[in-house]
């Protein structure tokens, strides 16, 4: 319906529908439920390991055994969707991130153990090289003076990483490296390996952002030189998401993600209106930690702030929300 067709209905007393909780809950049309939430987990080698991340209150690096227990506990509470990030010891990193395709890396071990444990969890695996390369970039480097990331060499590596993740039990792979053509390369590799049922949640619209700071502590994947502006998007371009979205959909993305979320609500709305694929939004580490920092100072209420921001992301058009608040939101929503 165009705006001019909208029947004009003067409401002189909008406050009538704000009278009491029962009334407000009845007319509230945007709701976030546990089914919409994905909990990120950081896994690293070890046994019984729970290492708090200083810049992300309540978030920990865990060893695979602990992660499997946490996944079991959260499933019992109704939170059943998880995205795994690998944290790799510096000694196991190299220039091409070969640990990414090791079936015994922490992500793959966790996937196998979750499947062995029989938890009814939907497992998403982040698919990128920055946590595995010694230089911290999202792919292999070119042999040039600028040491830019070699797009096409990285595509082959991503395809291989996707196959290993699927073999180990991932339900969805989530490529986050912003290489051109990555979704097509991953789709082809998965299909060739008989994994045509594995979905791709692509980080289709991912901006180079200051909001990833705490994540880089958590994932220990900070670039050792330069930054990611040569492959992640420039937030000063307001229409470029259309190109990235179209490419990823053409290449076979099943779910498209916008990242960050809270300061990119306009982009989420644009993507939602431009396509019929499910849209995910990643409320990233910095966005999470800002709310915690303000709450720790007594400046805002943690619960109210977290619920409001998450609901705003949903209202903007996200179907799926990746958030570090997921375990708390189960109780708070």
Query: Residue 210, class by beta-carbon neighbours within 10 Å (0-12 exposed, 13-18 middle, 19+ buried)?
Result: exposed
Query: Closest approach of Cβ 120 to ligand PBG, in Å?
Result: 25
Q: How far is 81 from 75, CA to CA, in rounded Å? A: 8
Tell me if 86 contacts Zn ion by CB under 5 A: no
Tell me if 248 contacts ligand PBG by CB under 6 A: no
Q: Which is nearer to ligand PBG, 147 or 274 (CB)?
A: 147
Contact assessment for residue 202 and residue 219, using Cβ atoms and an 8 Å cutoff: no
Among 207, 215, 231, 264, binds ligand PBG (CB under 6 A): 215
Tell me if 124 contacts ligand PBG by CB under 6 A: no
Tell me if 207 contacts ligand PBG by CB under 6 A: no
Tell me if 261 contacts ligand PBG by CB under 6 A: no
Nearest CA among 64, 98, 3, 78 for reference residue 33: 78
51, 93, 112, 206: the active-site residue: 206
Enclosing H/E stretch for 276: none
Please give the size of the binding site for ligand PBG, defined by CB under 6 A: 11
Among 43, 71, 101, 138, binds ligand PBG (CB under 6 A): 138
Tell me if 128 contacts Zn ion by CB under 5 A: yes
93, 112, 259, 314: the active-site residue: 259
- Active site includes 259? yes
Q: How far is 77 from 310, CA to CA, in rounded Å? A: 19
Tell me if 138 contacts Zn ion by CB under 5 A: yes
* Cβ neighbours around 82 below 10 Å, total: 25
Query: Closest approach of Cβ 177 to Zn ion, in Å?
Result: 5
Query: Residue 115, class by beta-carbon neighbours within 10 Å (0-12 exposed, 13-18 middle, 19+ buried)?
Result: middle
> Which of 122-130, 150-158, 262-270, 311-319 is the region at the interface with ligand PBG (rule: CB under 6 A)?
122-130
Enclosing H/E stretch for 167: helix 151-168
Residues annotated as part of the active site = 206, 259
């Amino acid at each position: 319906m165009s705006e001019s067709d909208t029947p004009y209905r003067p409401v002189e007393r909008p406050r009538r529908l704000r009278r009491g909780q029962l009334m407000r809950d009845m007319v509230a049309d945007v709701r976030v439920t546990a089914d919409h939430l994905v909990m990120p987990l950081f896994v690293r080698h070890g046994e019984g390991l729970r290492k708090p991340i200083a810049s992300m209150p309540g978030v920990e690096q865990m060893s695979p055994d602990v992660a499997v227990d946490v996944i079991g506990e959260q499933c019992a509470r109704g939170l059943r969707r998880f995205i795994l990030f690998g944290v790799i010891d510096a000694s196991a990193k190299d220039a091409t991130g070969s640990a990414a395709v090791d079936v015994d890396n922490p992500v793959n071990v966790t996937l196998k153990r979750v499947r062995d444990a029989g938890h009814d969890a939907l497992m998403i695996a982040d698919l990128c090289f920055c946590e595995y390369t010694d230089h911290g970039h999202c792919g292999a480097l070119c042999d040039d003076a600028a040491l830019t990331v070699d797009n096409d060499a990285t595509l082959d590596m991503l395809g291989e990483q996707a196959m290993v993740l699927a073999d180990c039990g991932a339900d969805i792979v989530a490529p986050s490296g912003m290489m051109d053509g990555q979704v097509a390369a991953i789709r082809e590799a998965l299909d060739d390996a008989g994994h045509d049922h594995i979905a791709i949640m692509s980080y289709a619209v991912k901006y180079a952002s200051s909001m990833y700071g705490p994540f880089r502590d958590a994932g220990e994947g900070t670039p050792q030189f330069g930054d990611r502006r040569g492959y992640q998007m420039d937030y000063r371009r307001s229409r470029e998401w259309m190109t990235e979205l179209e490419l990823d959909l053409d290449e076979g993305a099943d779910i498209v993600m916008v990242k960050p979320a809270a300061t990119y609500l306009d982009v989420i709305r644009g993507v939602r209106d431009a396509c019929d694929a499910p849209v995910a939004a990643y409320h990233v580490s910095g966005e999470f930690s800002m709310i915690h920092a303000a709450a720790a100072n007594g400046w805002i209420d943690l619960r109210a702030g977290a619920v409001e921001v998450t609901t705003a992301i949903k209202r903007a058009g996200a179907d799926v929300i990746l958030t570090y608040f997921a375990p708390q939101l189960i109780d708070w929503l």
